[in-house]
Amino acid sequence: MSIVIGGMIGLGKTSVADTLNAHFQKRGIESKVFYEAVDNNPILPLYYELTPEELDARRIPFLLQLFFLNKRFKTVKDCINWGEPIYTIQDRSIYEDWYFAYVNKNLGRISELEFKIYEELVENMMEELNELPKKAPDLMVYLKGSFDTVIERIMARGRSFEINPELKEYYFEVWKGYDDWVINQYNASEVLIIDMDNTDVVKRPEDAARVCREVDEKLDEILNLTKAHIG
């Protein structure tokens, strides 16, 4: 089974991925987490720290989207290579990369020409993946939360390049359309929505257990539908 953890910056994708990984392994299911390239990303701090004029001059937003897209493409291939019966868990999906590029285009951080090139590259990559078995995930676990929760969680984790008050407008622009994109445009897999306003898998073990239970139930539902379709 292939699972992706989606959602707004700061809502806890890595913590949920680690929680599910531990849960599966406790059940005797081999699993592996593929983390988002943040700590070893040379472009990300620049994206948050440079002035708008510097970002534009150096085309940092476009470079960042290409960086993430390349890493995500590699992750999809790695997940396929691991194969069944291993459960793979991706910290954000290649599909969400397009949404971030789209927001940056709307903000004027990525030009229309850059976005066109980006979309053509995505299309070529997806055509390449179509030649491989099982490219799409089985389930997206989507972490949904209010904007207040997003800001609170970003501040709490304390990554220096993320806590500039001037970034609040950018976070809001990403946040305000995320739910609509997932609910109305994302169609690569089934979606399980987790309300992060009322969930903390790190501090509340009962929340972690609930999330794991809901994921198990959703995966069982997907497996049953698959068997029925085959039958």
Least confident of 47-56, 104-113, 148-157, 195-204: 47-56
Least confident of 19-23, 121-125, 137-141, 145-149: 121-125
**Coil, strand or helix at 131:** coil
Q: What is the pLDDT confidence band of residue 158, given thresholds at 50, 70 and 90? A: low
Domain ranges for the chain: 2-230
Fold of 2-230: Rossmann fold (3.40.50)
Provide the pLDDT for residue 207.
97
Spot the catalytic one: 18, 91, 97, 138.
91
Which amino acid is it at 52? P
Strands (E), the chain: 2-7, 31-34, 87-91, 139-144, 190-195
Contacts of 36 (CB under 8 A, 6+ apart): 13, 14, 68, 71, 91, 92
Provide the pLDDT for residue 133.
55
Residue 118 pLDDT greater than 90, yes or no? yes
Give the rounded percent of residues in the chain with a pLDDT score beyond 90: 52
Residue 59 pLDDT greater than 70, yes or no? yes
Provide the pLDDT for residue 221.
93
Query: 91 catalytic, yes or no?
Result: yes
Q: Quick one: which H or E segment has residue 202?
A: none
Residue 216 pLDDT greater than 60, yes or no? yes
Which CA distances in Å does 116 have to 65, 71, 95, 120?
A: 13, 20, 16, 6
Least confident of 21-25, 45-49, 76-80: 45-49
Which CA distances in Å does 9 have to 18, 64, 115, 124, 179?
A: 17, 15, 21, 27, 13
Provide the pLDDT for residue 7.
95
Q: What are the phi and psi torsion angles at 209 (to 5°)?
A: -65, -40
pTM of the model: 0.88
Q: What is the mean pLDDT of the chain?
A: 87
Contacts of 114 (CB under 8 A, 6+ apart): 59, 62, 105
Least confident of 13-22, 68-77, 179-188: 68-77
Provide the pLDDT for residue 225.
81
160-211 pLDDT per residue, tens: 566 666 678 889 999 999 999 999 999 989 999 999 999 999 999 999 999 9
